[in-house]
């Protein structure tokens, strides 16, 4: 149909041109050329507009993609920096905590060394007690007891000096001896014991003198040359016995004698 229409149009145009005068024919051709030129210009403008619009859309799209990429890259970089900063902060906190613990341990060790040094200096500066600044006394309860009975002694050592001194008042160094004539019946230092070091100083415990009182028990039995359980020792016979404190390291120091009667 379109072809037939075109042929029909061309035929009609030709018939019209044949019927026109030469002057009208030239005028008609000019109009056709002007219209064709105008159509070409319009088509060129339309094509240029379409091309421009496509270019703008492409630029905008590219710009959006680039902005998104930059934004994404920026966010990734920011997150990476935050992660690094967090790790660095965590490491710094751990290092700080470790340094504090190490410093605390070092301070404790230094304090302990200082205390040990101070105690050692005190030991080095404090002298041992001697017989000239000590007094010893002994009391018995009871003083009369039956065979196989028990006597409790109170052994007292008093410091009479003006400064300080050290003394071991264990049963090995403060010895209770029970005798009968020249015969030794019982001694408190046969069995080994731990030392009992005391610092004696005037004015201790609110008094003018430093005093130590301890209890020694005698089950009226006979001691052995070696350490034996007290229950395995034989009891002494009835008679009169003498008790006295002595100090092996200080020959001049001893207590008054206390008589004990066994019936």
SS3 call for 260: strand
Residue 174 vs residue 19, higher pLDDT: 174
Strand partners, 128: 166
DSSP one-letter code for 235? B
C-alpha–C-alpha distance, residues 145 and 141, integer Å: 9
DSSP string, 99-130: HHHHHHHHHHHHHHHHHHHHHHHHHHHSEEP-
Q: What is the pLDDT of residue 205?
A: 52
Q: Mean pLDDT for the chain?
A: 77
> Structural domain tally of the chain?
1
pLDDT in tens, 160-219: 888 889 999 999 999 999 999 999 999 999 999 999 999 998 764 545 568 999 999 999
Is this prediction's pTM over 0.75?
A: no
DSSP one-letter code for 221? B
Q: What is the pLDDT of residue 181?
A: 94
Structure tokens at 110: 């230094």
Would the pLDDT of 69 be above 50?
no
- The residues, ordered by sequence, that sit 6+ positions from 166 with a Cβ below 8 Å of its Cβ are 123, 126, 127, 128, 129, 197, 198, 199, 200
Does 7 map to a domain?
no
- The residues, ordered by sequence, that sit 6+ positions from 161 with a Cβ below 8 Å of its Cβ are 129, 132, 133, 200, 202
Does 164 map to a domain?
yes
> Is residue 3 very low, low, confident or very high in pLDDT (cuts 50, 70, 90)?
very low
Q: What is the pLDDT of residue 70?
A: 38
- C-alpha dist (Å) from residue 109 to 99, 105, 116, 200, 205: 15, 6, 10, 30, 33
pLDDT over 90, % of the chain: 43
Task: Kindly report the CATH number assigned to the domain that includes residue 203.
Answer: 2.60.40.10
pLDDT in tens, 219-237: 999 998 899 998 899 999 9
Q: Which domain holds residue 144?
A: 131-262
Q: What is the 3-state secondary structure (H, E, C) of 67-87?
A: HHHHHHHHHHHHHHHHHHHHH
pLDDT in tens, 73-114: 445 445 555 555 655 655 556 666 666 676 666 677 777 776
Does 217 map to a domain?
yes
- The residues, ordered by sequence, that sit 6+ positions from 250 with a Cβ below 8 Å of its Cβ are 129, 130, 131, 134
Structure tokens at 251: 């020959």
User: What's the rounded mean pLDDT across residues 13-23?
Assistant: 61
Does 179 map to a domain?
yes
């Amino acid at each position: 149909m379109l072809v037939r229409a075109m042929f029909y149009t061309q035929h009609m145009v030709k018939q019209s041109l044949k019927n026109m005068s030469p002057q009208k024919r030239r005028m008609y051709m000019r109009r056709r050329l002007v219209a064709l030129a105008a159509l070409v210009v319009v088509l060129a403008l339309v094509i240029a507009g379409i091309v421009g619009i496509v270019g703008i859309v492409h630029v905008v799209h590219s710009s959006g993609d680039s902005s998104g990429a930059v934004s994404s890259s920026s966010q990734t970089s920011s997150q990476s920096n935050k992660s690094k900063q967090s790790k660095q902060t965590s490491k710094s906190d751990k290092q700080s905590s470790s340094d504090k613990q190490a410093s605390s341990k070092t301070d404790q060790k230094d304090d302990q060394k200082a205390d040990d040094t101070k105690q050692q200096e005190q030991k080095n500066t404090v002298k041992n007690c001697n017989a000239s600044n000590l007094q010893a006394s002994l009391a018995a309860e009871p003083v009369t007891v039956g065979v196989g009975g028990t006597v409790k002694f109170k052994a007292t050592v008093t410091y009479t000096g003006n400064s300080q001194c050290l003394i071991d008042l264990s049963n090995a160094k403060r010895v209770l001896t029970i005798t009968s004539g020249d015969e030794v019946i019982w001694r408190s230092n046969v069995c080994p014991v731990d030392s009992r070091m005391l610092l004696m100083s005037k004015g201790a415990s609110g008094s003018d003198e430093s005093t130590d009182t301890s209890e020694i028990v005698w089950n009226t039995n006979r001691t052995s040359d070696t350490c034996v359980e007290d229950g395995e020792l034989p009891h002494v016979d009835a008679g009169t016995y003498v008790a006295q404190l002595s100090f092996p390291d200080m020959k001049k120091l001893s207590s008054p004698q206390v008589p004990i009667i066994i019936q």
